Amino acid sequence: MERVIGIDLGTTNSCVAIVEESVPTVIPNRGGYKTTPSMVAITEAGKRLVGHIAKRQAITNAENTVHAAKRLIGRKWSSPQVKNAILTAAYKIVEGPHGDVRIHLRDKTYSVPEISAMVLQEMKLFAEDYLSEPISKAVITVPAYFNDNQRQATKDAGQIAGLDVIRIINEPTAAALAYGYGKTEEKTIAVFDLGGGTFDISVLEIGSGGVFRVIATAGDTFLGGEDFDARIIDWLVQGFKDQYGVDLRQDRMALQRLKDAAEKAKCELSSQNETEVNLPFIISSSRNEALHLQRTISRTTLEGLCEDLVERCIDICKQTLEDARLERDEIDDVVLVGGMTRMPKVQESVQDFFGRPPNKGVHPDEVVALGAAIQGAALIDDSKQMILLDVTPHALGIMTYGSNFEELIPQNTTVPTSRSKIFTTSRDNQTAVKILVMQGESQNAAENELLGEFILTGLRRAPKGQVEIEVTFEINSDGIVSVSARDLETGQQQSIQVTASSGLTKEEVGQMMEAAKEYLVDRRASDAFEGARQEAEKLITEIERMFPQVEHIVAASDFGRDAISKARTILDRVRQAIGKKDAAAVKEQMESLARTHRMFKGVVARPNG
C-alpha cells in the first residue's frame, strides 16, 4: 500500500513525517536536520536553492530569496496583508493576472503556490530518499484561520509539487492528534502555537474511540517570532544611532545582517541570560570609516522589549476560553507548538495563565508534521479509526442590503453542518436576488472575503418584504461549502458549490506542474552527477597520491609502463566526463577507476613496494 507523508508547511520552517510500523517519525533532510527553512532562492546563475542553502545565502542575495511565502499564499493583491508584505519584504512582490500575488526573482515571475511547491518538492525528495520509494500522497497542514482560498492555494502548491494532497488539516488539530496518539483517556487540551509569523490557540476535546473535537480556535496572523526579532532590531538600530548618529535602516544589507543577528540573539537568550550581538563593518560613517556594531543584550532586556507581544497571546487565550465557555482549570494539558514557545518568558506566561506547566512530551517543531502523518496513515488504513471534528475558523454568511454581513454559520461551528435563514426582498416587484457568499467576522461585508456569488431569478412580483427567500449553507466534512436559495412560495431554487480560488487557473496549475516536473528531471540528473563526481574524485585523489610510488616500482617493466599509461588515460577520461558534467560517462568509467585504484593499492602494499 502506498504510504502517505505528513507535511507541516510552515511560515519559517517546514517538517515532513511518516508513520512507520505504527510509529510516527520525522524524516530528516539531507543535512540531517529535522526541519528545513521554508526559503527559496534563485542564484545569479539561475540555480534554485531551497532550505538551509537558501537561508545561508539570504544576506548576499536578499532580493532573490523568498521567505514567509505562506503569508502571501491565497491572498488577493488588494489585501492589507499583501500591502504590508510589500513594505517589508526584500524580494519584489507584483500583481498577478487574476488580482493575485506573484513574486519576481531574477528574470522570472512566480506565483506563490509555485514558490511553496518548491519547498514541498524538497520535502517530498527527502521523504523519497529516506524511504527509498516514490511518494505521491500527502496530508498538508494549514493554520486554523486559513480561509478557503488559502487552503485551495496550499492544495495547488501540493499539486504543482507532484503531490496528491489527500487532506488539508488544521495545524492545532494535527498537534492534538500527535499528542493524543496512543492515549486512551478523555482530555480537554489547549494547543498554544507561536511560530515565526503567527499565533494560534485552539481548545480541543480528545474523546475515547479516537474522536478529536475542536471546541474553539482563534489567533492573530500578525503576531509571531518576527515581531520579537523586530523589537531587538529597533533596539539595536536606536542604540547605534545614539552612539554614532548613523541610521542602519538606510542600508539594506546592514538591515538583513541585523535581522539574522536579532533572531540568533533571541534564540540564544532562550538558553542563556546574556548574549553579544557582534556585527563588524556593518556600515560606513559619513567620513568613510568602517563602523562596527557590538552590544550585549540580556534576557531581561528582551523580555522588557517584548512584554506586550506575550501579553497579546495571553489575551487571545483568555478570549478563546470564554468563547469555549471553559474555565482555566478545565484544561487538562497545554501543548506548545512553534519555535517561539522555547522562549522561557512565553512558557512562564502560559504556565501562569493556565495554572499548570505546559506538556513537555511533544516536540514543538515536529508535533504538527507528526499529526499530519498520523492523519495520513489513518486515511489509507481503515483499521486506524479516527474521527476529526473540526470547526469553521471563520463565520460564513451573505451580504445583505446596505453592505451588511448577515451571518449564517458562526465561527467555531463544528463541521459538517447546515444552517438556514429566511430573508425578504428589499424592493417592490423584485424578480431576482443576487446572493454574495462571504467569509469573515466583520459586520461590514466589504471587509470579509467574497467566496462566490449567484443569482436567484424568477421571484414572484410583490411589494418589498413580501417575498420570502430561504438561504441554506452547508459545509461537508471536506470543508466544501454549498449554498442554496429558495423562494418559499414558488419553490424556485438556485444553488452553487463554492469553489475556492487560489488565484490560479487550472491551466496555470497544469503548466506549473509541468515546469516542476522538468525541474525534477534536471535536479535528479544533477544529484546523480554530484554523487558520481564525489565518488570519482575521492578515487582520483587517492590514485594520484600513490602515482609517484607506483611509477617508481613498476616503470622498469613494459607491462608496468603499459599499466601506468592506461591509468593515465582512465584518469583523463574521468576528468573530462566531470568537466562535461556527464554523469553517465563518469559512471561508465567508475569500474575502470576502481580497478586502477585496487591495483595501485596492491602495488603500494607489496612488501618490497
* In the complex, minimum distance from the CB of residue 234 to ligand AMP, in angstroms, rounded to a whole number: 16
Using CB under 6 A, count the residues that bind ligand AMP. Answer: 17
- Would you call 193 a catalytic residue per the annotation? yes
Q: Stretches 9-17, 162-170, 299-307, 429-437: which one binds ligand AMP (CB under 6 A)?
A: 9-17
Q: Stretches 207-215, 336-344, 514-522, 600-608: which one binds ligand AMP (CB under 6 A)?
A: 336-344
Decide: is 13 part of the binding site for ligand AMP (CB under 6 A): yes
d(CA 26, CA 369) in angstroms, rounded, equals 7
Decide: is 342 part of the binding site for ligand AMP (CB under 6 A): yes
Decide: is 141 part of the binding site for ligand AMP (CB under 6 A): no
**Dihedral, 500, 501, 506, 511 alpha carbons, nearest 10:** -130
With contact defined as beta carbons under 8 Å apart, do 112 and 361 qualify? no
With contact defined as beta carbons under 8 Å apart, do 392 and 381 qualify? no
Q: What does each C-alpha distance from 474 to 483, 485, 495, 529, 603 come to in angstroms?
A: 6, 12, 11, 53, 80
Residue from 100, 156, 193, 333 carrying the catalytic annotation: 193
Q: Stretches 165-173, 241-249, 332-340, 594-602: which one binds ligand AMP (CB under 6 A)?
A: 332-340
* In the complex, minimum distance from the CB of residue 35 to ligand AMP, in angstroms, rounded to a whole number: 6
d(CA 346, CA 349) in angstroms, rounded, equals 5
With contact defined as beta carbons under 8 Å apart, do 493 and 439 qualify? no
C-alpha cell read off for 523: 535536479
Name which position in 4, 5, 7, 11 contacts ligand AMP (CB under 6 A): 11
Q: Compare residues 339 and 479 and give the one whose CB is closer to ligand AMP.
A: 339
Decide: is 196 part of the binding site for ligand AMP (CB under 6 A): yes
* In the complex, minimum distance from the CB of residue 145 to ligand AMP, in angstroms, rounded to a whole number: 15
Q: Stretches 123-131, 162-170, 335-343, 594-602: which one binds ligand AMP (CB under 6 A)?
A: 335-343
Residue 258's closest CA among 238, 285, 288, 242? 238
- Would you call 487 a catalytic residue per the annotation? no
Q: Stretches 290-298, 333-341, 415-423, 448-456: which one binds ligand AMP (CB under 6 A)?
A: 333-341
d(CA 274, CA 301) in angstroms, rounded, equals 9
Angle formed by the axes of helices 344-354 and 307-323, nearest 10°: 30
Q: Compare residues 309 and 540 and give the one whose CB is closer to ligand AMP.
A: 309
- 8-state DSSP, 595: H
361 by Cβ neighbours in 10 Å (0-12 / 13-18 / 19+) ranks as exposed
Residue from 8, 100, 220, 508 carrying the catalytic annotation: 8
- Would you call 251 a catalytic residue per the annotation? no
Name which position in 225, 371, 393, 503 contacts ligand AMP (CB under 6 A): 225
* In the complex, minimum distance from the CB of residue 343 to ligand AMP, in angstroms, rounded to a whole number: 4
Q: Compare residues 61 and 341 and give the one whose CB is closer to ligand AMP.
A: 341
* In the complex, minimum distance from the CB of residue 310 to ligand AMP, in angstroms, rounded to a whole number: 12
* In the complex, minimum distance from the CB of residue 34 to ligand AMP, in angstroms, rounded to a whole number: 11
Q: Stretches 7-15, 132-140, 448-456, 533-541: which one binds ligand AMP (CB under 6 A)?
A: 7-15
Name which position in 340, 378, 539, 574 contacts ligand AMP (CB under 6 A): 340
* In the complex, minimum distance from the CB of residue 94 to ligand AMP, in angstroms, rounded to a whole number: 26
Give Cα 476 to chain centroid, integer Å: 26
What residues from 235 to 294 belong to the interface with ligand AMP (CB under 6 A)? 263, 266-267, 270
Decide: is 339 part of the binding site for ligand AMP (CB under 6 A): yes
Residue 264's closest CA among 302, 222, 214? 302
Residue from 114, 171, 200, 365 carrying the catalytic annotation: 171
Q: Find cell 412580483 and name the residue.
A: 461
- Would you call 8 a catalytic residue per the annotation? yes
* In the complex, minimum distance from the CB of residue 468 to ligand AMP, in angstroms, rounded to a whole number: 49
Phi, psi values for residue 496, rounded to 5°: -140, 155
Those residues whose C-beta lies under 8 Å from the C-beta of residue 5, and which sit 6 or more positions away, are 16, 17, 18, 27, 123, 124, 127, 135, 137, 138, 139, 373, 376
d(CA 323, CA 239) in angstroms, rounded, equals 43
Residue 26's closest CA among 365, 341, 361? 365
Rg (CA), the chain: 30
Q: Compare residues 178 and 395 and give the one whose CB is closer to ligand AMP.
A: 178
- Which residues of this chain interact with ligand AMP, rule CB under 6 A? 10-13, 195-196, 225-226, 263, 266-267, 270, 338-340, 342-343
Which positions are catalytic?
8, 70, 171, 193
